[in-house]
């Protein structure tokens, strides 16, 4: 990873490779929080996102990076962060794909799920069950 970070220019497919590595770490992170897999996944997804922003701008792949970052936040129980990433993805998807597209709809479903988890977490705090 270090050599990829130090290069001034990266080919466009580098973002896809970073994304796939992040996705592998994300899969490992599910149920394995003590190994740092979620942190590794986040690092690779953020790197892919930054590269996609720079190379592609407002694009479905950029939105996809936001969605995958939200997945990592959910794994870590960071629902506010997950919601922020999903809202960024949704804004891009509405512009690029349109509000009726299945991928846009899937992101709306994820937002609904995260809002429910956030509400549950707030209720647990209120009831003293952290």
pLDDT at residue number 71: 98
pLDDT at residue number 123: 83
Rounded to whole angstroms, how far apart are CA atoms 68 and 57? 17
Rounded to whole angstroms, how far apart are CA atoms 95 and 84? 17
Rounded to whole angstroms, how far apart are CA atoms 42 and 48? 10
| Residue spans of beta strands (DSSP E) within the chain | none
* pLDDT tens-digit map of 66-113: 999 999 999 999 999 999 999 999 999 999 999 999 999 999 999 999
Q: Of 92, 81, 90, whose CA–CA distance to 108 is shortest?
A: 90
Q: Taking 50 as the threshold, does the pLDDT of residue 64 lie above it? A: yes
pLDDT at residue number 2: 47
Beta carbons within 8 Å of 65's beta carbon, 6+ residues apart = 15, 19, 45, 48, 49, 52
pLDDT at residue number 130: 56
Half-sphere exposure of 113 (CA within 13 A, CB side): 14
C-beta separation of 71 from 85 below 8 A? no
Percent of the chain with pLDDT over 90: 77
Q: How confident is the model at residue 22 (pLDDT cuts 50, 70, 90)?
A: very high
Averaged pLDDT, 20-49: 94
């Amino acid at each position: 990873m270090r050599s990829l970070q130090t290069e001034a220019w990266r080919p466009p497919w580098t973002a896809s490779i970073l994304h796939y590595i992040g996705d592998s770490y994300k899969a490992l992170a599910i149920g394995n929080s003590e190994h740092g897999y979620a942190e590794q996944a986040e690092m690779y997804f953020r790197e892919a996102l930054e590269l996609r922003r720079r190379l592609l701008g407002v694009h479905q792949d950029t939105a996809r990076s936001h969605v995958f970052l939200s997945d990592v936040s959910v794994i870590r129980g960071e629902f506010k962060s997950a919601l922020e990433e999903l809202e960024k993805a949704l804004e891009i998807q509405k512009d690029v794909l349109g509000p009726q597209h299945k991928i846009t709809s899937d992101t709306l479903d994820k937002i609904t799920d995260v809002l429910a988890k956030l509400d549950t977490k707030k209720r647990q705090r209120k009831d003293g069950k952290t």
